[in-house]
Amino acid sequence: MTEPIRVFIVDDHDLFRAGVRNELGSAIEVIGEASEVEAAIELIAERSPDVVLLDVHMPGGGGKAVLERTKDANPGVAFLALSASDAAEDVVAIIRAGARGYVTKTIAPHELVAAIERVHGGDAVFSPRLAGFVLDAFSHIAIADIDPELDLLTDRERDVLRHIARGYTYKETGEQLFISVKTVESHMSSVLRKLQLSNRHELTKWATDRKLI
Amino acid sequence: MASLEPTLRRIIVGYRAIAMLWLLSLALVALTSTPRATYPVVIVAAVALAAAWTALTLWISFRRPGLFRSWAFLGLDTLVSALILVSPNVAESPNFVGGYPLSSVLIGVLGKGLPGATAPVLVLVSLVLIQIGMGDRPGDPTVLSSNVLVYPFMAAPVIWAVGALRRSDRMRISAELNLEEERADRIRAEERSELAAHLHDSVLQTLALIQRSSTDPEEVVALARGQERDLRAWLYGSPLDGESFESTMIASAAEVEDAYKVRVELVTVGDAPLNDGLRSLISAVREAMVNAAKHSGASEISVFAEVANDRVLVFVRDRGSGFDQNNVPADRKGVSESIKGRMSRHGGTFVIQSDPGLGTEVRLTMHL
């Protein structure tokens, strides 16, 4: 049997942390938790978990502050954002800060475990809503100054995103498109990279309007 | 309303400029009259000093008005006035009643109020008394006494007037601040009571209902979901203003959630104004959601709608029981045929894909 994935939980709601700890099965080992930004930064550096479950909304800067202050010093840690809100500005801000995925807190336990395994494996995790938002943001072709490497989605990436937005899992998406799960994963990683690096107006305006960047 | 201090500053510095002209005309008279003035060079020097100092005062009043409040400046100002007072042309003009030196008293009021005026008054009065005692100031007693009394007598009403103006100005400012604070308090209180009213009408009601129906998990989930939707729309705003495809889809999904106690995960990309084709598309989508809710047994339905270029695509998907498409009961076949007919009349399509045990997906398209 392989080593369990070592997970660190950052959330200011005690009940939620307790709930997640109970839901995660044997494949996951919770090695610590924090309820505030400063403590989280310290403990993540100390224990270097595989995956950090990160609440988006917390006093003192939220999950984004934790990400920005731990990411560079801990390159081996993957961050999965969890939030009650799936407002577009929250989703985009945390993904662009470096989270490898985003799921809402209503996610079913087995799906949360799958999401943790996926970000640990270096892949991206998109909720249907995030997939829909990315399709929306990339759908208007800019007139000038576009970097086709970063600012445009390929047809295949669009197909994959549409299936995710329709509620398909990666496996189901692969079956529908006659490609392997690995290929679906690499398409989604590429979409994640574009989402994080593109300077497209549609992607930055949410964050800058609300002074998140 | 203009503030008081700049106005006072303009009046008092303006007085100094007038006093300067007064001094200049006195000097011209002294220089041109017979007998000739005893020390013409001293007269010219005194007038030049006064002119330079007046120019400096004007510059300060525009650029560094704060300097008027420093004792160092007020001391220098009084010194200049004292030099002018003891210069021969003033001593030789017994009818001159200290027009320029008086401006130092007024500048003192401007900068430091009563103490700022008292200091130059004492200095100037003492100087004139010394001059009289030394016999430097010839003239009859009436003129001499007016030369002494001009400073305190002119200063007193100015001190009173400026003091009264400043007090009423302070009262006006604090009244305005109070009013503003009151207004802000009232707005805060209104926002608070609006928030409280909203939470009471929605969240507290729902929590009460949840406690009463705690034995019925489906009901609890439906209540929580409906409340979540409501709170989200209230917090983040929803595109429910105006008749658009997206807003109608959101409303339609919410209706199905409420009526059938399922969770509808709706994702929309793009939006378009409603037309007949989109209305029939949405009613077909609603039919598909209701079918999934009633027959699939799944607790969640995924709906994805994309408005792109000239067409709208909608997918309604559940992971429920599914069914054999070759073996559909006649009554349900009729329903699906009628939806298909309505869609195709507007140029749309309607395809069902179902696998027993895996779930069902309905794919709908409509041209814009």
Alpha-carbon distance B112 to B155, whole Å?
Answer: 13
CB contact under 8 A, A166 and B270: no
Helical residues (DSSP H) of A71-180, grouped into ranges: 88-96, 109-120, 128-138, 148-151, 155-165, 170-177
- A85 versus B52: the higher-pLDDT residue is B52
Confidence of residue B316 (pLDDT cuts 50, 70, 90): very high
Confidence of residue B89 (pLDDT cuts 50, 70, 90): low
pLDDT tens, B123-153? 989 988 888 888 777 677 777 788 888 889 8
Q: What residue in A sits closest to B362 (Cα-Cα)?
A: A166
CB contact under 8 A, A139 and B269: yes
Nearest chain A Cα distance for residue B167, angstroms: 44
Q: What is the DSSP letter of A141?
A: P
Residue A46 has pLDDT above 80, yes or no: yes
pLDDT of residue B97: 58
CB contact under 8 A, A87 and B317: no
pLDDT of residue A143: 47
Asked if A88 has any chain B CB less than 8 Å from its own CB, the reply is no
Residue A209 has pLDDT above 50, yes or no: no
Residue A211 has pLDDT above 50, yes or no: no
* Count of beta carbons in the 10 Å neighbourhood of residue B157: 9
CB contact under 8 A, A167 and B302: yes
CB contact under 8 A, B304 and A129: no
* Count of beta carbons in the 10 Å neighbourhood of residue A207: 17
Write the residue in A85, A136, A167 that is nearest to B269 by C-beta. Answer: A136
pLDDT of residue B314: 93
Strand A28-34, strand A5-10: pairing: parallel
pLDDT of residue B198: 78
Residue A141 has pLDDT above 50, yes or no: no
CB contact under 8 A, A162 and B306: yes
CB contact under 8 A, A128 and B302: yes
> The tokens 């799906």 sit on which residue?
A111
pLDDT of residue B339: 77
pLDDT of residue B134: 80
Asked if A158 has any chain B CB less than 8 Å from its own CB, the reply is no
pLDDT of residue B88: 66
Residue B304 has pLDDT above 90, yes or no: yes
- A89 versus B253: the higher-pLDDT residue is B253
Is B95 in a helix, a strand, or coil? coil
The count of residues in chain A is 213
Are B49 and B79 a contacting pair, CB within 8 Å? no
Q: What percent of chain B has pLDDT over 90?
A: 20
A156, B179, B262, B310, B360 from B295: Cα distances, Å: 33, 63, 12, 33, 10
SS3 content of chain A, % helix, strand, coil (to 5): 50, 15, 35
Q: Using an 8 Å CB-CB cutoff, list chain A residues near B308.
A: 139
Q: Using an 8 Å CB-CB cutoff, list chain A residues near B268.
A: 132
Nearest chain B Cα distance for residue A35, angstroms: 24
Mean pLDDT of chain B: 84
Alpha-carbon distance A21 to A33, whole Å?
Answer: 10
Alpha-carbon distance B119 to B129, whole Å?
Answer: 16
- Cβ contacts from A onto B, under 8 A: 39
For every residue of A41-64, DSSP letters joined together read HHHHHHH--SEEEEES--TTTHHH
pLDDT of residue A212: 40
Contacts of B321 (CB under 8 A, 6+ apart): B295, B296, B297, B298, B356, B357, B359
Nearest chain B Cα distance for residue A31, angstroms: 32
Write the residue in B232, B267, B308 that is nearest to A165 by C-beta. Answer: B267
CB contact under 8 A, A128 and B304: yes
Q: Which of A82-86, B145-149, B357-361 has the lowest mean pLDDT?
A: A82-86
Confidence of residue A132 (pLDDT cuts 50, 70, 90): confident
Q: What residue in B sits closest to A90 (Cα-Cα)?
A: B236
- B90 versus A65: the higher-pLDDT residue is A65
pLDDT of residue B305: 93
Alpha-carbon distance B85 to B91, whole Å?
Answer: 7
pLDDT of residue B213: 77
Residue A80 has pLDDT above 90, yes or no: yes
- A181 versus B341: the higher-pLDDT residue is A181
pLDDT of residue B218: 79
Residue B365: half-sphere exposure toward Cβ, Cα within 13 Å: 8
Q: What is the C-alpha radius of gyration for chain B, rounded to an integer number of angstroms?
A: 46
Residue B64 has pLDDT above 70, yes or no: yes
> The tokens 């001499």 sit on which residue?
B144
Confidence of residue A116 (pLDDT cuts 50, 70, 90): very high
- B35 versus A44: the higher-pLDDT residue is A44
Q: What percent of chain B has pLDDT over 70?
A: 91
pLDDT tens, A192-206? 888 888 766 556 554
pLDDT of residue A138: 75
Q: What is the DSSP letter of B244?
A: B
Alpha-carbon distance A96 to A86, whole Å?
Answer: 15
Q: How large is the average pLDDT for residues B250-254?
A: 88
pLDDT of residue A179: 93
Residue B242 has pLDDT above 60, yes or no: no
Confidence of residue B269 (pLDDT cuts 50, 70, 90): confident
Is B360 in a helix, a strand, or coil? strand
